[in-house]
Structure 1
Amino acid sequence: MTATDEALRALERQRTVEITTIGRRTGQPRRIETWRYQASGRFWLTGSPGSRDWYANVLAHPEFTLHLNNQDLQVRGRPVTDSGERARVLGEIVPALDWAGSLESWIAGSPLVEIELG
């Protein structure tokens, strides 16, 4: 099993993850806990509508560290701004969240980043 296969298996099992981004203004590492989601056979970071520091950091510095149980993975975040792709991906994620509110508000105002491994 390759390191990428192991990372995929760990990511499939672990919904709550920690990420370390590089601060867009300070250049300092910033570590937070968040949830990862799976849609269209890929892994994503998102959150309820609103601004997020982690998202601004990923926009400025797309490479970040994804912390899984006993693994720290260097990954790249691909921000999703295309409205059609946002609708497809969030259309898989949001309906499964009983607390999420409207899909339209998520499409309009939630950060969405694909986690690119390797």
Structure 2
Amino acid sequence: MVATDEVRAALDQQMTVEITTIGRRSGQPRRIETWRYLAAGRYWLTGSPGSRDWYANLLAHPEFTLHLTGHDLRVRARPVTDPDERVRVFGAIVPGLSWAGSLQSWIDGSPLVEIELD
């Protein structure tokens, strides 16, 4: 898992990404489109409050493929469950989303993983 400057530049520019996870029950690859966020100089995957299959898959199998234009990277998900860290990360992400609703609803009910590049 090596993050070159070129890969980081691509990730900085590409908010919509595709990821391939391994199904927690099926063991089969599952590819979806989602958004990546940047906060505190690190990259995150999250979604509006509610359960997500991709998150459950990453809890079971943290290694996944991040598909960027010109790059398919094997990376690792670090689920964020610490309440203080969730407040800090969502506090940086949610206020910039006009459609997001309340910050507290995201803290309480949204999946959150850090994309570990190296």
TM-score w.r.t. structure 1 length?
A: 0.97
Secondary structure in structure 2 of the residue aligned to 1:6: helix
The answer (yes or no) to whether the contact 1:4–1:117 under 8 Å persists in 2 is no
Match of 2:80, as an amino acid? V
Alignment partner, residue 50 of structure 1 = 50
Match of 2:47, as an amino acid? G
Name structure 2 gaps, 5 residues minimum: none
The answer (yes or no) to whether the contact 1:46–1:113 under 8 Å persists in 2 is yes
**Matches of 2:68 and 2:85, distance apart in 1:** 27
Describe how 1:52-91 pairs up with structure 2 within 5 A.
52-91=52-91
Deviations 1:7-49 (A, max 9, x none): 1111001000000000000000000000000001100000000
Task: Give the RMSD, CA atoms, in angstroms.
Answer: 1.0
The answer (yes or no) to whether the contact 1:75–1:117 under 8 Å persists in 2 is yes
TM-score w.r.t. structure 2 length?
A: 0.97
**Matches of 2:82 and 2:40, distance apart in 1:** 15
**Matches of 1:4 and 1:51, distance apart in 2:** 33
The answer (yes or no) to whether the contact 2:3–2:117 under 8 Å persists in 1 is no
Number of matched pairs: 117
Name structure 1 gaps, 5 residues minimum: none
Alignment partner, residue 103 of structure 2 = 103
Alignment partner, residue 32 of structure 2 = 32
Secondary structure in structure 2 of the residue aligned to 1:86: helix
Alignment partner, residue 15 of structure 2 = 15
Deviations 1:61-98 (A, max 9, x none): 00000000111000000000000000000000000000
Match of 2:26, as an amino acid? T
Displacement, 1:4? 2.0
